[in-house]
Amino acid sequence: MGMFDPLKGFGVTFATMFKKVVTEQYPEDFYPSAPRWHGRHQLNRHPDGLEKCVGCELCAWACPADAIFVEGADNTEEERYSPGERYGFDYQINYLRCIGCGLCIEACPTRSLTMVNFYELADDDRRKLIYTKEDLMAPLLPGMEEPPHPMRLGENEQDYYVQGPELARGRGVPEGETVETSKEEAIQ
């Protein structure tokens, strides 16, 4: 212990006054999470607005917290929600169970389920935190149409899966944009 050690301590305090402030002013300024951050889910659409979900329940089976409930139903010619045979009739995610591990995203065979990096989910009601299909569905982009409607982009579901990106361009989605997720924000 030297004689000047107590003064050195004050020196640190004094020097800190001239350093850049590290505090994030969060609610006033927004700081986006990392682009691939596991936030809220989103159910995607094909470029013509038909749903990608086929109601296979693989996400529900993969979920370690049992947070997802899916009920499939058959498409008919009059009422078509997705290309192919089946669609997700009921889809619920309980955000009070979901741990954001992303296993459901890995399990999804059609990339219907993805995550966006929205995270401000807190609410005062348990019931409101069970998100239903309407809450999770991706917004309609230009060129999309609310289902039910017939397949606009091909004869069968094969066309939808094989030529997805070209069909998206044809529907007016610009180059470099995707119909899959919302815009990813990167940390500046």
Partner 1 sequence: MGLEEKLPSGVLLASVEKLANWSRQSSLWPATFGLACCAIEMMTSGGPRYDLSRFGMEVFRASPRQADLMIVAGRVSQKMAPVLRQIYDQMSEPKWVLSMGVCASSGGMFNNYAIVQGVDHIVPVDMYLPGCPPRPEMLIDAIMKLHEKIKHEPMGPNRAKLKAEKGEELALPPSSVAHASAKTRDERLRTVPPNEVEGKRSSTIPLQLLEER
159 φ, ψ to 5°? -60, -40
Binding stretches for partner 1 (CB under 8 A): 22-33, 40, 42, 64-66, 92, 94-101, 116, 118-132, 134-135, 139, 182-183, 185
| CB contact at 8 A, 140 and 50 | no
For residue 60, give the H/E element and its range.
Answer: helix 58-62
Least distance in angstroms from the C-beta of 128 to partner 1 = 5
Least distance in angstroms from the C-beta of 3 to partner 1 = 31
Q: Is 12 helix (H, G, I), strand (E, B) or coil?
A: helix
Shorter beta-carbon distance to partner 1: residue 133 or 152: 133
Q: Is 92 annotated for ligand binding? A: no
Shorter beta-carbon distance to partner 1: residue 15 or 122: 122
Task: Give CA 159 to chain center in angstroms.
Answer: 25
Cis ω for the linkage preceding 109 (within 30 of 0)? no
Q: Is 104 annotated for ligand binding? A: yes
Q: Is 74 annotated for ligand binding? A: no
Q: Is 28 buried (19+), middle (13-18) or exposed (0-12) by CB count in 10 A?
A: exposed
Which residue type does 66 have?
D
Q: Is 163 annotated for ligand binding? A: no
Q: Is 56 annotated for ligand binding? A: yes
Residue 4 neighbours by CB under 8 Å, 6+ apart: none
Least distance in angstroms from the C-beta of 64 to partner 1 = 5
Shorter beta-carbon distance to partner 1: residue 50 or 67: 67
Q: What are the binding residues?
A: 53, 56, 59, 63, 98, 101, 104, 108
Q: What are the binding residues for [4Fe-4S] cluster?
A: 53, 56, 59, 63, 98, 101, 104, 108
